[in-house]
């Protein structure tokens, strides 16, 4: 690939992009706070890969990597690799232009393009738009519905999966390994869910407590 011009400290590029293999992390910063996008999620990737040998209970052992033998494992890996990583790299490389605005595949990268920041938190949707009142000053009361939603997401969905769609895995893995697996899967699913909520409803944070730098 051709090299760009020598670095000029007086002229910062716009957009300023990380190397392509880190653009997935940079794109995640659009949807999550830095402590989540840059620390927690990458850490969960490492922890999840370390946990795979202890979660996988295929009795045939090593050496069977066909789709027939590893349908669930291969599908999960492809979802994480293609959707949660490659897609973010493509978005950051080809569809993010000046000021990190979103541009279509054939849209001119206009440096003067301005997009109104209309993103709102879940608490604003509930208190202001639904209840038609002001936001409570107490952050715990203000973000009560966000806490309920996040806690319910991680505590209620695993038992539901164990009883309905993933009951076979619950029987073979046991409760501890099953809940570790579902926790990692729910963390994986949180990224596309947050992306869709941002695109469709301009939702910025489900829990937004900037007073304590805690935003989800």
**Residue among 70, 67, 41, 66 at smallest CA distance from 55:** 70
Q: Provide the whole-model pTM.
A: 0.87
Burial of 23 (0-12, 13-18, 19+ CB in 10 A): buried
Helix axes 175-201, 144-155, angle to 10 degrees: 140
Instruction: Give residue limits of the domains in the chain.
Output: 20-215
**Residue among 166, 201, 203, 172 at smallest CA distance from 185:** 166
Q: pLDDT (tens digit, 9 = 90+) per residue, 155-211? A: 999 999 999 888 888 988 899 999 999 999 999 999 999 999 998 889 999 999 998
DSSP letter at 209 equals E
């Amino acid at each position: 690939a051709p090299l760009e011009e020598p670095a000029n400290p007086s002229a910062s590029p716009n957009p300023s992009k990380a190397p392509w293999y880190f653009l997935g992390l940079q794109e995640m910063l659009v949807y999550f706070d830095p402590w989540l996008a840059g620390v927690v999620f990458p850490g969960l990737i490492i922890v999840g890969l370390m946990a795979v040998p202890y979660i996988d209970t295929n009795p045939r052992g090593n050496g069977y990597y066909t789709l027939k033998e590893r349908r669930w494992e291969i599908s999960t890996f492809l979802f994480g690799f293609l959707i949660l990583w490659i897609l973010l790299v493509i978005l950051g490389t080809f569809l993010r232009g000046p000021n990190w605005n979103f541009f279509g595949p054939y849209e001119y990268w206009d440096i003067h393009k301005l997009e109104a920041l209309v993103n709102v938190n879940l608490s604003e949707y509930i208190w202001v738009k639904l209840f038609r009142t002001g936001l409570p000053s107490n952050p715990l009361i203000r973000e009560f519905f966000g806490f309920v939603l996040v806690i319910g997401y991680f505590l209620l969905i695993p038992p539901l999966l164990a009883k309905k769609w993933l009951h076979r895995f619950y029987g073979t893995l046991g409760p501890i390994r099953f809940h570790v697996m579902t926790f990692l899967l729910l963390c994986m699913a949180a990224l596309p869910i947050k992306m869709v909520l941002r695109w469709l409803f301009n939702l910025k944070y489900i829990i937004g407590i900037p007073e304590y730098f805690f935003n989800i």
